[in-house]
Amino acid sequence: MSSASVLVTGGSGFLGGALIQHLVSVAGLTVSTVVRNTNTEFPPLVSVRLMSGLSADSDWCSALHGVNFVVHAAARVHVMKEGAVDPLAEFRLINVASTLNLARQAAAAGVKRFIFISSIKVNGEFTQPGKMFTADDAPAPIDPYGISKYEAEQGLLKIARETSMEVVIIRPVLIYGAGVKANFLSMLRWLNKGIPLPFGAINNRRSLVALDNLIDLIVVCLKHPGAANQVFLVSDGEDVSTTMLLRKIGFALGKPARLLPVPSGILNGAIMLIGKAALAQRLLGCLQVDINKNARLLNWTPPVKMDDALRTTAQFFLDNKA
């Protein structure tokens, strides 16, 4: 692996940037990436190429020259306030057509393995209490983002069957870590300010994955023979309720969470009244994943404990006042 060359797409993103840093400084690999602008700083040894954007006809020839592995983390991500007239068409353009365009060119260029960062939304939006998603469940995506990721997975596996390039699909749950954005960042801000929150009596269970754990699995999937043409779910292996998570984050921040024990039924009704059904599901519902397949095929278990990962996340937040 020391002489292997890896192309990482989405290098300016939360996952891609951290992955590149790890591949260069820890794994000692030759790494390249493509970006739309030069605003992002990368380690000195990383080869950076400019590309106007992902499309179904992008030319990847120069970027793929000499590359052994591709980690495709770039995507049109799930958005809370969708502005497109036809969201599914927009997601398909980037997440399906451009992904398969890259994969076909990668196979033609002799890339050995293509790792696709998909989403747990391919499995579905929630699990029933006491049940878990597995990597081999029948997919049941609901929203345009999840549908586009599933269609890309199907196209990639077809390419794997028709060429010598191996494909690995990884479906993460919610990713957190140093530099996290979106809802997780909002939770950090609320708790750091000591704002009382009505989430003290939620008994759901949700899986999350620390950024370092996801990166560790990606690195294993680059070389492990058991990963070829497989689908893996990934989490920390420590499921928590929303209440428990907030308490853990508060502890990591050194600011005990001020949580009011409002019954889940009342919370659900209030959130539904303001038209936020998806938010109610994320806060109150269950979403658990079974990662036993990872241990069985790859001998992989999460190396970082949730409490340690939350301390790292909280410290970065405090140091950077994000």
Render pLDDT for 209-259 as a digit per residue (tens, 0 to 9).
Answer: 999 999 999 999 999 999 999 999 999 999 999 999 999 999 999 999 999
Q: How far apart are CA 127 and CA 13, in angstroms?
A: 28
Give one word for 193, left, alpha or beta, with left for phi > 0 and alpha for psi -120 to 50.
Answer: alpha
Nearest to 221 by CA among 70, 115, 72: 115
Give pLDDT tens digits for 75-108: 988 664 556 778 899 999 999 999 999 999 999 9
Whether the pTM exceeds 0.75: the reply is: yes
Nearest to 248 by CA among 307, 315, 308, 170: 307
Q: How far apart are CA 283 and CA 144, in angstroms?
A: 21
Nearest to 301 by CA among 220, 227, 228, 203: 220
91, 145, 300, 317: the catalytic one is 145
pLDDT at 2: 47
Give pLDDT tens digits for 124-154: 999 998 899 999 999 999 999 999 999 999 9
C-beta separation of 283 from 267 below 8 A: yes
Q: Is the pLDDT of residue 10 over 80?
A: yes
Q: How far apart are CA 86 and CA 89, in angstroms?
A: 6
For residue 176, indicate whether it is catalytic: no
CATH class of 5-172: alpha beta
3-state class of 83 per DSSP?
coil
C-beta separation of 240 from 177 below 8 A: no
Average confidence (pLDDT) over 36-58: 85
C-beta separation of 115 from 165 below 8 A: no
Bridge partner list, 166: 113
Q: Is the pLDDT of residue 41 over 50?
A: yes
Enumerate residues 6+ apart whose C-beta is below 8 A from 4.
29, 30, 68, 69, 222, 223
Half-sphere exposure (Cβ direction) of 111: Cα atoms closer than 13 Å? 30
Q: Where are the domains of the chain?
A: 5-172
